[in-house]
Structure 1
Amino acid sequence: MFTGIIEEIGKVSAIDQEGENLHISINANFTSALKIDQSVAHNGVCLTVVNLDDSNYTVTAIKETLQKTNLGKLKVGDAVNLERGMKMGARLDGHIVQGHVDQTAICKAIEPQEGSYLFTFSYDHALQNVTIEKGSITINGVSLTVVNSKLNEFSVAIIPYTYGHTTFQFLKEGDTVNLEFDVIGKYVKRLLEVQNKAE
């Protein structure tokens, strides 16, 4: 379980393919505090630490993960948003994030505002995921609030701190991002679907 509050920006130090899997090595300041089998969110994707080597650690992304997220597009040297699992009893500064990406989206526009940045994203509505105005959304692991919610599009306002401490500073129009929709909203949607089928 995560909160969507990014701890640091890591850097991809190596990528090795084995069959349909990718072993992704990350250089991060908190590597010395990690343990084998620990969960870390990478651009919002929960992956298990399988190897530790000085300031680098390695995780494995399987075929399904690569198909549903942007991790397959990573290259050596790329920046990655990182968050370790939340501690029980700590403040939940973002929102409840599972680290299970629902789908990807495309960055359509980046508009500088007076004191912030407005990022607009479009996604495939065929998967029937929804956003709501002022609801929560996780983009590349970052907990954010939705504005301008539409059927297959929404925007988020990024304050300078978030911009400077996450990979939003590197994001360009046309880039692919990972989306995790609000877990409470997903349960409500599923319950309504079950109820409608029963009627």
Structure 2
Amino acid sequence: MFTGIIEATGRVVHCQLEGSNTSFTIQADLASELKIDQSVSHNGVCLTVVACQPDHYTVTAVEETLRKTNLNEWKIGDIINLERCMPANGRFDGHIVQGHVDQIGTCIYKEERDGSWLFDFSYDPTFGNVTVEKGSISINGVSLTVFNSAPDSFRVTIIPYTYDFTNFSTVEVGDQVNLEFDVLGKYIKRILTGYQP
């Protein structure tokens, strides 16, 4: 489980297609603290470390992950948001983030406003995901508060710290991002609507 509070960023230094899977090698300062089999959130996607060195490590994304996230667009040099699992004795500073991306969203608006940034994102509502005004969402692994909630879009505000220390500084209009909707909202919706064909 994660909290959506990004610890560090990493840089993609190698991509390798392996059958229907893709392995990514990430260069990051926290690589020396990782171990094989550890789960790490990469732009909101929980991936398992399969190899590690002092300055880089490797993870593998399976076909299902590549299909539902923007990982199939990653290229060498891309900056990735990183968060290790929350320790059992840690503070819960964000919200419950599972690292299971629900779908891709698209940046449709970006504006700097007196030191902060406004971002609007759209998403396909046919997947059944919803946002709630002042509720939580994870965008590329970052825990954020939703406003201007609509059936197929929402807005978030990014403070300078988050803009500077995550990959939000690289997100532009037209870019795709990984969205994980609030898990509590998903369970409540399932209880109310049941299983639909």
1:94 alignment counterpart: 94
Question: SS of the counterpart of 2:3?
Answer: coil
Distance 2:67 2:131 in 1: 22
Give structure 2 stretches of 5+ with no counterpart. none
So what's the TM-score if we normalise by structure 1? Answer: 0.97
1:171 alignment counterpart: 171
Amino acid of the structure 2 residue aligned with 1:123: Y
Amino acid of the structure 2 residue aligned with 1:136: S
Q: Which consecutive segments of 4 or more residues in structure 1 shift more than 4 A?
A: none
Distance 2:75 2:172 in 1: 16
Distance 1:21 1:67 in 2: 11
Amino acid of the structure 2 residue aligned with 1:101: V
Identity %: 59
Question: SS of the counterpart of 1:149?
Answer: strand
| 1:26 is aligned to 2:26 | yes
Question: SS of the counterpart of 2:132?
Answer: coil
Distance 1:54 1:156 in 2: 36
The structural deviation recorded for 1:143 is 0.1
Give structure 1 stretches of 5+ with no counterpart. none
Q: How many corresponding residue pairs?
A: 196
| 1:180 is aligned to 2:169 | no
1:193 alignment counterpart: 193
Q: Please report the RMSD computed on the Cα atoms of aligned residues, expressed in angstroms.
A: 1.0
| 1:79 is aligned to 2:86 | no
Q: Over residues 6-57 of structure 1, what are the superposed CA-to-partner deviations in whole Å (9 max), with x where a residue is unaligned?
A: 0111000100001110000000101111010000000000000001123110
Distance 1:18 1:138 in 2: 29
So what's the TM-score if we normalise by structure 2? Answer: 0.98
Distance 1:139 1:12 in 2: 19
Distance 1:165 1:106 in 2: 21
2:105 alignment counterpart: 105
Distance 2:53 2:162 in 1: 29
Distance 1:81 1:107 in 2: 17
Question: SS of the counterpart of 2:24?
Answer: strand
The structural deviation recorded for 1:114 is 1.9
| 1:54 is aligned to 2:58 | no
